[in-house]
Structure 1
Amino acid sequence: MTQEETRSIEYYYKAPPGVNPQYTLSQDWRKAGEIIGTAFYPNKFNQLITEHCSLEENVKEYQERVEHVMQNNTLCLQSDDYSAVALWTPPEWRIVPYSIDLHGHFEFSEDEFKRCAEKFFVSYGIPYWHLTLVAKNVNSNTKGSVSKVMKPILEDAKERGIPAALECIDERARQIYEHYGFKTYEIIKIGEGSVNSLGEEQEGGEGLTLWYMIYNYDDKEHKPLDV
């Protein structure tokens, strides 16, 4: 990406003339955190890193995370009156670590995510879009709302010739991301030796599987995995 292509944070909050974006950029971290925390609550990885907290505690924790990343130039996209939300960090900014104290499986997983970013992008100085969180509102039946907060960013990545990356936390989501064009480049094991495939405590357990996935990435040294 050339210097001329570098965009300010204000750029993303202004739609080009004549363009009607499918999404709206939001600054309501409470609403976004509520949607994400509620949607993620049943997920086994989420349960593991939050130590099986209550739904109310889960929502509060995600609201804190969303507030923090939005304060550090991560964009919050929402579509169809918050039927879906997505947090995207633009290629102009590095991902800022959480200000909250991390521990246990959460700390380990974040360290693994940083390692992957370093391996594929940071060490080469490659700019990239990063999808921090995306969720469908569990109370919405609106179809296509997730695509509205996904496809425009992927189209932008394609136009600028840069990748987009994410960390996938369950098999169903992996299949959906593949539909959007993402490919798996790294498989991460969380809780190996201490929890089973459901995230339940089990000595010698296989742990949970996560996938580091990249869109629009072609590198001779790093090839997608066959999963």
Structure 2
Amino acid sequence: MANTIGSFRVDIVESKESTLNPANVKLPGVALNLLKLFQLQPTAAAVPPLPEGVRVVTAAEYKQAAACLADAFAEDDVVFYPIDTPDRAHWTKQEKWALHVEILEYVTYAHILKGLVTIVGDFEAVALWMPPASDMDDYLTILRSGMWRLNYRLSSEGRRRFFTEFLPLLHDTKHSTLGPRDDASWYLVYIGTSTRGRGKGHASKLIRHVTNQADKDGLPVYLESSNKKNPPIYRHFGFETVRTVYLHRAERNVELDIMVREPKSMEKQ
């Protein structure tokens, strides 16, 4: 789910619950043996040539990258959809923020393992990509990244929203939109600029890094936008809105614009 952000400041609140190091997850003996056997490492996919100012995030840097995204998505209805639920109404803003950061740490680490995470500046802008023919749905990635903990960290309603509505909607929408090209596409899952990084053109560098490669390979690029201000920005990079989908379990429907960028002919560039 891709997004950029408006102008506001959020102070990140750390909690003991958000200090997990996925590389040191405590798991039952069988799962631990599996991890030792396969020795899952951040191998990811081939990285397009890196332009000046863009680099790949390492596993040791997942917290900094996640903190940037947490800042960028601090007021995003979709990101907080499984967190800000009626059965967590008694939670403080600090508790909800800590879970917000924690979830993005899991997601970021999973993309470091199986996708591509890039930054510009001192973690001023971050992009999470899933390259063609890649996904992070395998058992080992879920274990290693800590994503399995969401079964316990989310509330009952949060689990229903995340696992039975949100994830299936994203999966089915992408598949039905791209059809046979689903596995032959780049997927911009998240892109966000921190408060201190705005207005510097960082997001443009992160997007063009991959879209230039997609053009060379003749591949589409797919994203979901959760902020109504952003489709005009993405259109500047060649994306077009192809449909709109909705999350229905909250008091009001939460909207997602589905956007696809078709490959551009290199002869025209």
Deviations 1:161-199 (A, max 9, x none): 11010111110122221222111122111126x422xxx
Q: What do the CA deviations read for 1:40-76 (whole angstroms, capped 9, x no partner)?
A: 12112222222265222211221112112322x2111
1:117–1:45 CA distance, 2 compared to 1 (3 A): closer
The answer as to whether partners of 2:126 and 2:191 remain within 8 angstroms in 1 is yes
Matched pairs, number: 195
Task: Determine if the alignment matches structure 1 residue 68 to structure 2 residue 124.
Answer: no
1:63-95 deviation line (CA, Å, top 9, x unaligned): 112112322x21111012221110111114235
Task: Read off the aligned partner of 1:80 and give its amino acid letter.
Answer: G
**AA of the residue aligned to 1:35:** C
Contact 1:38 1:55 in 2 (8 A): no
Are 1:83 and 2:92 counterparts? no
Distance 2:197 2:128 in 1: 19
Q: SS of the residue aligned with 2:197?
A: coil
Query: After alignment, is 42-51 or 144-153 more displaced?
Result: 42-51
Counterpart residue number, 1:186: 243
| Contact residue 44 and residue 112 of structure 2 kept, 8 A | no
Deviations 1:70-128 (A, max 9, x none): 22x21111012221110111114235376434623223122111112221335456500
Q: Which residue of 1 aligns with 2:55?
A: 24
The 10-residue stretch of structure 1 (104-113 or 115-124) with the greater mean CA deviation from structure 2? 115-124
Alpha-carbon distance between aligned partners in 2 of 1:183 and 1:111, rounded to the nearest angstrom: 23
| Residue in 1 that maps onto 2:197 | 140
Q: Separation in 2 of the partners of 1:124 and 1:162? A: 8
- Runs of at least 5 residues in structure 2 that lack an aligned partner in the other structure: 1-42, 86-94, 152-158, 265-269
Q: Aligned pair in 2 of structure 1 residues 85, 123: CA closer, same or farther (>3 Å)? A: same
1:142/1:184 Cα in 2 relative to 1: closer, same or farther (>3 Å)?
Answer: closer
Q: Which runs of 5+ in 1 are unaligned?
A: 1-7, 197-206, 219-227
Letter of the aligned partner of 1:38 in structure 2? Answer: D
Code of the residue aligned with 1:172 in structure 2: it is: K
Q: Tell me the C-alpha RMSD between the 2 structures.
A: 2.6
Q: Which structure dedicates a bigger proportion of its chain to helix?
A: 2
- The answer to whether the aligner puts 1:216 opposite 2:262 as a matched pair is yes
Give TM-score scaled by structure 2 length. 0.64
- Preserved CA contact (<8 Å) 1:187 1:210: yes
CA separation in 1, counterparts of 2:166 and 2:232? Answer: 21
Between the two structures, name the one with larger relative contact order (CA 8 Å, sep ≥ 6): 2
AA of the residue aligned to 1:159:
K
Instruction: Out of 38-47 and 52-61, give the one that drifted further.
Output: 52-61
